[in-house]
Structure 1
C-alpha cells in the first residue's frame, strides 16, 4: 500500500526516536537499547570515516528527526496523491556515503511506497542505517519482509543509484536495462544581490561548511554583483574556522593553498577557506569560487546554463540562507520525483 497510515506511523515514530537520541533525551519506551545501539553506531562511523565528526553525525540525526514528523509525512502523502495500491517490486538502492545517512530518503521512499528495498550501503556509511531499520522492525516485525542489506545488487526490478559522474557511467552500463534513477555530481550556489544582512551571511556559513561542504546541497560557488565585497562573507563565517582542524579538510586546504602559491594564482584566504574569482561551478573541499554578474538577467542566464549541474540555489527568492541542508521531504534530489518513479513501476 502506497503511503499507508501504518507505515507513516512507523516512520513518524522513527523521527521521534531520532529526536530523542540527537537531543540526549530519554528514548521512547521499548527503544532504550536501540538508542544505545545508535550511539555506538555513531561512534563507530566517525572512527571509520574521517569526514564523519560527532557534530556532523548528530546534526544529521537531528535534521532527520525534525523532518520525520507526522505532519510532514501526511503533507508529503497529500502532495503525492494520497494512499493507493501499488504493484510491489524489488528496488535496488546504491547509497552514497559523502554525508551521514544521505541514503535514508531513498530507503524511506521505497518503504513508504510499499515496495521492497534491496540496499547496497556505502562502505563509508554502513553503521547507522541498520539501527534505524531495526527501529522500524520494533514497531512491526512484519516489516522484516520489506528490505534486505546486501553486498552486491541482484534480483531487482528497478534501481536508484547515487554517485559521481564517473560511477554514473558504471551504473548506466550495469543498470541501464532496469527502470532507474541515476544521480551524478551536483553542487549548489548562493545568489547574492548585495542586500544581504549580516545575519543572512552568518547563516550562509552553514550552507558552505556543514558536512565540510561534501554534500550536493552545500554551497561551493557565490554568484555576486560586480561590486560585492567578499570581505563581508569572510567577516560573517568566522564561527566555522574549526573546520580546518579536521585532518582531511586541513590537508585539502593546505594542498590547494600550496598549489596556488606555486602557480602564482590569485586567491584570498582566511585560514580555513580559499576564495578564488573563478567561473567553474564545482570546487574542491576548502575552496569557494566567486563569479560576478552585472544584471539580474545575466545572473539568471548563468544559473540556467549550469542547469543539471546544480542541486539548489540559496538566496533571496530561492532557498533561504542557512536552509540548504534542510530540504523538505518532497524536495527530491536532482529534481527527479522519487515517489512518482516508484508509483509508476
Structure 2
C-alpha cells in the first residue's frame, strides 16, 4: 500500500468524523461507549471525534509527515497497549503506526474498547488493504516486532519487565501545568477552564497544577472557571468533589472552594478529580529551573509568560499531529525499527 493511499484514507476518515454526530448509526456506538465508561459522556466523545476530524485534514497530514522519509518497506507489527482515561487516547499511536507503513496489533483498554474498532471498520471500508494491517486482541500479545505501551507509573514497571527486550516506547504518568501572572484576560481564563475541565480532568494534557505569583488574587480566576459550573451535575464528578472535600476538611487542609472545584496548595502535580493544586513562585528564573527539573512529570505547560515550549490557554486538549506525548517522536521511532 502506497503512502498516498494511507493519507487519503485518513483524510476520508477525518471528513467522516467531521459529520459523524449527525449519523444515526453512530448514536448506538456513542451509547455503548458511554455505558462501558461513565466518564465517556457523549459530549466528551463528540469533542474527541471533532478534534480528530479537524486534525485529519490533507494539509495537516502532509505537513506532519513532510519532515520524514517514509519509504515502502516490509511492514513491522507494532503492538500498542492503549490507555482508557479519555476517548480515543491511543488514536495517535494507531495513526502513527499505520501512516509509517507498519501494522497495528492493538490491545484496547477495557474502558475504551468500542470507538477505535468502529473507526477502523470505516477506515477499512475506504481502503480495504488496511484489513491486513489492523488487528485487535484481548489475549496475550504475541508475534510483534516493537511495542508502544501507555499506563501508570506502576504498570510501566511491568511493561518494562515484560517488553524491555523489544524496541519500545513506554509512557508513564504525566500531568500538565499552567503558569499565571495575574495579567490574564477574562477570555484566557475561560480557555484555561477548558484546559482544566475537559474530559473531567482525566487526560495527561489536562491542567492539574497552577503556578501563581505571591499575593495572587483568585477572583478573576474563579470568574473564568464559572463557564464550567454545570460539571458538578455529573454524578461521578460530584461524588469525587464531595469525597475529596470531606477528606481534606477532616485533615484540616486549607482549601479554596467555588462549589464545583477545589484549590489546594501542594507541590505535587497529579491532583484528584475536582481538585487543582497550586504553588507560588517568586521568579520566572526559579520557576523555569523547577519545570526543567520536573520535565519527566509534565506533559505540557499552558502560559503566556514566555516559558520555553509553552502553549496558549485553551490549546491543551487540541494538540497538533506533531505534538508528541512525552516529547517522544513516535514516527521517528517507527521508521528506525530494525
TM-score by length of 1: 0.94
Aligned to 1:260: 248
1:51-82 Cα shifts (integer Å, max 9, x gaps): 0111101001101101110000000111224x
Distance 1:272 1:193 in 2: 23
1:289-315 superposed Cα distances (whole Å, 9 cap, x missing partner): 111111110111121121100000001
Q: For 1:263-274, what aligned pairs fall within 5 Å after superposition?
A: 263-274=251-262
> What is the aligned counterpart of 2:296 among 288, 304, 308?
308
Cα distance, 1:37 vs. partner? 3.9
Gaps of 5+ in 1: 25-34
Q: Is the 8 A contact 1:90 1:117 kept in 2?
A: yes
> Counterpart in 2 of 1:4?
3
Name the structure 2 match of 1:120: 107
Q: Give the match for residue 130 of structure 2.
A: 143
* 1:38 Cα deviation after fit: 3.0
Return 5+ residue gaps in structure 2 as ranges: none
Aligned to 1:32: none
Instruction: Give the match for residue 93 of structure 1.
Output: 80
**Structure 1 CA distance for aligned equivalents of residues 34 and 152 of structure 2:** 22
SS of the equivalent of 1:193 reads coil
The 5-angstrom pairing of residues 203-214 of structure 1 reads 203-214=191-202
Secondary structure, counterpart of 2:66 in structure 1: helix
Instruction: Report the more deviating stretch, 231-240 or 5-14.
Output: 231-240
Q: Which residue of 2 aligns with 1:174?
A: 162
| Matched residue count | 332
The match for 2:229 is 241
What do residues 95-143 of structure 1 show as CA deviations (whole Å, max 9, x unaligned)? 1000000011111111111111101011101111111111111112221
Helix, strand or coil at the partner of 1:79: coil
TM-score, normalised to structure 2, is 0.96
Q: CA RMSD in A?
A: 1.2
Q: Matched residues in 1 for 2:59 and 2:78: separation?
A: 27
Listed as ranges, the matches of 1:125-136 within 5 Å are 125-136=112-123
Moved more, 224-233 or 314-323: 224-233
1:330 pairs with 2:317: no
